[in-house]
Structure 1
């Protein structure tokens, strides 16, 4: 499936904006304690995106979304700078949260919570992951310890969450908890909440290897959070299903954005290799360097094709966990190889903050864990292989 003319037009505007307006901000000193851009910087960039007509470019003026193939093309352009998705309002977790609200939210919840996200007036957070030391939910969401129970016309939520991206400074939260009294032994529920809320206390924001997301990845305590019943997202007990509605395209969105970042890192490494001389000739003419850049081109193209394939399936409405798992593994591992080669080609310069190459390396290393580490996806695929074999052989 080819990219539509409308997506190409949007993508061209986004690319020009990110390269010409956003990229010069990459050295802006407005950063928080772990190196992430402050909300002041992000808000300034969003204003420039709004003026350029490229704010939330994957959602059209009438509220309709681009197709996933079109979105893949546009989000890749926003990723050409680590600041691009923030400026264009296509960053995680907001992009995934907007997608989920658009699919599951009632008209009332969309008006109250979704609209301000689409307008770039608020950030959001998705409260699902829990501390491993407490045996909580991570790659296995069925281990969820956070609970919710009915009390009159409110749900009361208690628990601890960790690695909650953007919680510090978010104004919209999607909280996931396991109900104590839903039929069939309990089930997961999702709730929309206004933030900040005194019942949601940020306990700690650790320094992490990545530094592109405002608010960091917080550990939070949820202490008797009271949520009106009409702020439940969808139906009680269906939270795990809704999580998959969000996570399958979210995995693909991560692939899109970081593909753009690795393309830019490759461009920077290529420029360096052509300008830098050693042993009487440009680095690019040394086989060891030239071959690394050639391998980058191969990995970039293969990753692009995997993203396109997965996006086409998602547009049919048939995307399952197997396809998104394959894309997540293949693309994240390819992008890691690309980022690593870019650092290697640039030598000492590649490990400094003189360019974005070292940041892209750090971000992509973290991406191999976002939305499920490589090993979990391979395990899931192996289970599918076994299940399909049993079905084919009548076992």
Structure 2
């Protein structure tokens, strides 16, 4: 699966270079120094790194010279380990095993961070908290987030992101709603951006009764979608909408409560401040049909992009401002589950020392929503169909760097009428 922020050439090459440059301060944590690691308490003195051939310099953890046995180079490319996946939430089949040459491929699946990298990450988080974003910047970035996304899409063309061709692999329900004869189906994409999710779906669509509502709170993004040659207003409707809107803006234009079969939220929930989560979930819950699904993918805690943040980017725990003014939150798997299951929480204020705190009390549930007995507000309670962590290690062969990426993927479901009546 391709990273959503990996770009087409030449932008792709430029961003890779920027990524490498930005990691120079991390070099000791993302490259291997044979003098600092060994498989035994009293390691033999390894030869100088410069004396090793390129294939022997192992940045994964143990240099080739210290391995009692090395798998032949082709082992990493064993066809039996590279079979095309057919099931969702498997996140790749290229498994890195001890003795493999990590530089044989550009990426490996299911790789946990090593101890040195994990320690470095904690040091980075501490430094980020010590130098948070200024009060002035915190206010201006939070007051009008759409402004910064408008600037983003004004500076980047519709081809900035790769098309998300993996969608139907990871979310089979998309195949069901787009197949011939599926009947009237309504799909809502939240945070549609330049249409990089909606347009691939339309190209695969054989269902004449499918209707796609692609919404983004950036006016510029909606303009980009409508100018695309792939935009077909007979099937697709693009609108400006803030998923955390209230009052008359709580529902997307042209949609009624309980009218949507599938909601797509791909790298959009992380752009919301924690104090917006509750309203966003209420709006999604309202627009979905009973039994409707939310297809979700976003950034996970410990992702390289989180660790790279330097001073004056940290707004509150796991919540940052990028250099272009857009916001991003990095989720923990258990935390994400609590949010969508309706476990009540106290949103943090804008003070740097505050944290999001989930209440441990038992909330009351009725008709698919959880009632907070303290504040008497309601938080939607979705069923969790699936939730998983996609971990990858990317490799820069030239700079001898290893880069850990972490994403969370999930399917949430609005309770059906039957389950709602059971819980009432």
Shorter-chain TM-score range: under 0.3
Q: Higher Cα Rg: structure 1 or 2? A: 2
Structure with the higher fraction of residues in helix conformation? 1
Structure with the higher fraction of residues in strand conformation? 2
- Alignment TM-score, normalising by the size of structure 1: 0.28
